[in-house]
Structure 1
């Protein structure tokens, strides 16, 4: 029997939904439509965050190597920006999933506005229990979405289930450094890099590439200051979600090199 306190206890999934349902538009105002980190090609690259986030999407597109007519799953699709970029780069169908009903609604609206609704669709779904038949996708990617999923191995097995044999899955995610655990309000959990590799392998996936790209995700100082200024301009809105102490840590973390790492992984189902 479950006590009333236990029944009312908020799960990690509930917290993630609450965060993104309520914070997405503030995040977009500060960061842009890509709700993931940026990728800078080299030390001379001074791209603003909006371009740098597109450059990370391009890194995943290159690794996914989509072919015309394929059906691609976007796990943790945000408001759809990476899916739209993928659809613009290749003649594929993209299906995005998120547990945030708000994000799914906005992504669908944006697909219709862009005239892409016939090829790019979005479903409200839990990545741990995908509402798709076995072997129904030709490829998949996940942009910083596994970071919100405590049982990453279960999610990876579920993604593998809906992929056809020989399909490619590309992951972009943060990892904890040996001296720093990456956490945020119980909605972010991330193992160290070697442990992350082990999780992928236990899920029955074959690693083709596993690359530490942390250096490429370190924004130029001018970009950092611009993001920090945007955070400070929306201080009251952000504090509603983070609390004052976490807000200060967030601003400090933007201004100085982050203590977390970032990886890109290309894996196959067999």
Structure 2
């Protein structure tokens, strides 16, 4: 259900939406979950960011980036410092938007696992949605590692993956994974459309194809199949919308070292 300014939305004209945006809008409208917005602009912002998530996932899949565990991760040293845990810290003097875009432009220089891939896709989508200037201000302390997020990028935990919309993050679990390949204990994926997902290391696949791929990495003698987990995550679009539309005079922008913190007064 979509609720705008306290009212159930019934008269919104979706004729100017793209085909992807229209499909997302219809899915959200028919959901039992309440998608609440202060204005139509907030709804359009979410649809736009979701579209950029889908586009960014496809672009990362085509970028030439490789799959690896943390021990063997790699990055472009011109833009990032590889740290001891296998994550990437933005180099001093490099702007966040430059660092993110380089991953898509020079993907062959990068290797990482699926959770880091999801965070990169989300950052790229937000960057293309709000522009480099705002992105650099909001995400000045960029570090890419597993599920480590800048505080201005938040996820909401949701139940029932059957209600997920394109741009949401799901997880395929593989409880009997082969200990020799622990990175295949599961796969974090981004929903691109009806039963189509991007998972780093597997590519763009249907749910059956992802399960089939994970089942190839079960421990010998196992008959327990991989499956879609019963929870999923979505970007906190409302929080991001509030930040970028807040009156600048009502914001405190505090810098501590290389980090920026934005507080509402």
TM value normalised by structure 1: 0.27
TM value normalised by structure 2: 0.27
Larger Rg: 2
| Structure with the higher fraction of residues in helix conformation | 1
